[in-house]
Structure 1
Amino acid sequence: MFRDVSSCNTYNYGDALYWDSRYIQEAGGAFDWYQRYSSLRPFVRNYVPTSSRVLMVGCGNALISEDMVKDGYEDIMNIDISSVAIDMMRRKYEFVPQLKYMQMDVRDMSFFSGRSFDSVIDKDMQMDVRDMSFFPDESFDSVIDKGTLDSLMCGTDAPISATRMLGEVSRLLKPGGIYMLITYGDPTARMPHLNRPAYSWNIVLYNLPRPDFKRPGGGSSTKSNMEPIPITEKGTLPADFVLEDPDSHFIYVCKKDG
């Protein structure tokens, strides 16, 4: 398993300095990678109850968490490696109690940076951050990842970073919990990382065209996006499966054995 360059360019998407610089340049804007919540909603609502405690990894300045709250979700913890993004989003959603923000590296979510401590802990509580474990095992019902694993796969230490991140995701999920990965990576590139016995995940795969995709001739699709795609024993797409959109996104729904 090597560095996945299928959706990479000259930027190092695994570098915190890149993201800090980008969010400073965007100066308070908002951007949703890959898909907006309106497109993902059928999948999210099907697998993630609104009462779930949700972890949004690599939240950036996206609107998906805000949209989920508007849709009835009650508890979403958002983390990102960029302190610029976290500080910006904390200010933006200061009065939205359903949304919490912490600066954290997805490759080690037992480590707490301390910069966003007052966003999750009452300021009057006298606690030593070094004595706290963020996050303990089985802390979340669901983890949503929209492009974060892809970012790590663009780094020079991609296989190690991916293993560390997915190990942490598995650790944090409760039995029966859901890891929902939205990615450019097809099964050939992603299943070797996801389908490891240590994670105990049952995986269902979906495919979703880009929001701006237009079919040749303007016709409508005969396929339902909610129909799972079978995966071969080798972890590949069936030989007769044809992608309507060559640059479409894959949704891996990984359920932890309960």
Structure 2
Amino acid sequence: MTLGTTTQGYGEPSYWDDRYTQDTGPFDWYQKYPALAPLLNFYVPRDHRTLVVGCGNSAFSEGMVNDGYEDVINIDISSVVIEAMQKKYQNHPKLKYMRMDVRDMSAFESGSFDAVIDKGTLDSLMCGHNSQQNATKMLEEVGRVLKNKGVYILITYGAPAYRLSLLRDLHLWTIKLHVIEKLVAERSLEHKKWELTEPVPLDEGGSVEAVLGKNPEVHYIYVCTKDKPTNGIGA
């Protein structure tokens, strides 16, 4: 993730406050809603309560509501961007914005969301100081706030070799991998590497080279279905 700063800024609210003071957006990391809509529609019914973590000034959640989603909660560590988004969407009751650190979502009860969507937030933590510790804290919190059978949808540049062990170590969920072309709008249908809604086969080592080739120009989407209640909560 190229953010134009040293890694130590990624986990700090001050970095993001400065960024969103200068960049009023909207800006979407990786993919915009229309490109990902078929996958979300496949895994997340429109009446399910959804949490978008690290929302920034993205138009992604607006796209969800315009597509019929009824309850979308958005959090971000930056008070600057949350205040701006609260003002922007003050007349949209289906869209809610809260300032919160994804590593500590204690304001939410355990098992309170059907789906959590992450487009670049885990990646951001993985690029900062204490990356492994912070990423684990985040994922534990995501698992806690998810209902049993709820889904965590992670959109990332992280290939399975770099993300699978991190996700599997929590022993919380069943994982399916999907991929989407990085420049899907600029590629012809004949050159698509894989159908978005079709899971890519995963082996224990996490290699997808046999299916997608070496260094595929894709974003990876991990759909993690919670199948183990956290401390008996969220079932």
Q: 1:241 to 1:78 in 2, by over 3 A?
A: same
Q: Conserved in 2, the CA contact under 8 Å of 1:205 and 1:250?
A: yes
Call closer, same or farther: CA 1:218–1:229 in 2, change over 3 Å: closer
Displacement over 6 Å in runs of 4+: 6-9
The alignment's TM-score, normalised by the length of structure 2, stands at: 0.89
Give yes or no for contact 1:50–1:73 (8 Å, CA) kept in 2.
Answer: yes
**Matching of residue 169 in structure 1 with residue 142 in structure 2:** yes
Q: Is 1:240 matched with 2:213?
A: no
Q: Does 1:224 align with 2:220?
A: no
Amino acid at match of 2:180: L
Matched, 1:147 2:125: no
3-state DSSP of counterpart to 1:164: helix
State how 1:78-227 maps to structure 2 within 5 Å. 78-110=74-106, 134-199=107-172, 201-211=173-183, 214=186, 219-221=190-192, 223-227=194-198
Q: Does 1:68 align with 2:64?
A: yes
For the residues of structure 1 that align with 2:185 and 2:208, how far apart are their CA atoms? 23
2:16 corresponds to 1:22: no
One-letter code aligned to 1:15: E
The percentage of aligned residue pairs carrying the same residue is: 50
Which protein has the larger Cα radius of gyration, Structure 1 or Structure 2?
A: 1
Letter of the aligned partner of 1:85 in structure 2? V
Q: Which secondary structure state, in structure 2, belongs to the residue aligned with residue 109 of structure 1?
A: coil
Q: Which runs of 5+ in 1 are unaligned?
A: 1-5, 111-133
Cα distance in 2 between the residues matched to 1:175 and 1:45 = 19
- Looking at structure 1, the residues matched to 5 and 17 of structure 2 have their Cα atoms a distance apart, in angstroms, of 17
Q: Which runs of 5+ in 2 are unaligned?
A: 228-234
Alignment CA distance shift 1:29-1:8 (3 Å)? closer
1:113-160 deviations in whole A, cap 9, x for unaligned?
xxxxxxxxxxxxxxxxxxxxx111001000000000000000110000
Secondary structure, counterpart of 1:241 in structure 2: helix
Assess if the C-alpha contact under 8 Å between 2:153 and 2:224 holds in 1: yes
Amino acid corresponding to residue 232 of structure 1 in structure 2? D
For the residue of structure 1 that corresponds to 2:45, the secondary structure is coil
Q: What number of residue pairs does the alignment pair up?
A: 226
Instruction: Summarize the Cα distance change of 1:170–1:205 in structure 2 as closer, same or farther, 3 Å threshold.
Output: same
SS at match of 2:98: strand
Check the 8 A contact 1:213/1:245 in 2, yes or no: no
**Residue 52 of structure 1 contacts residue 75 of structure 1 at CA under 8 Å; is this kept in 2?**
yes
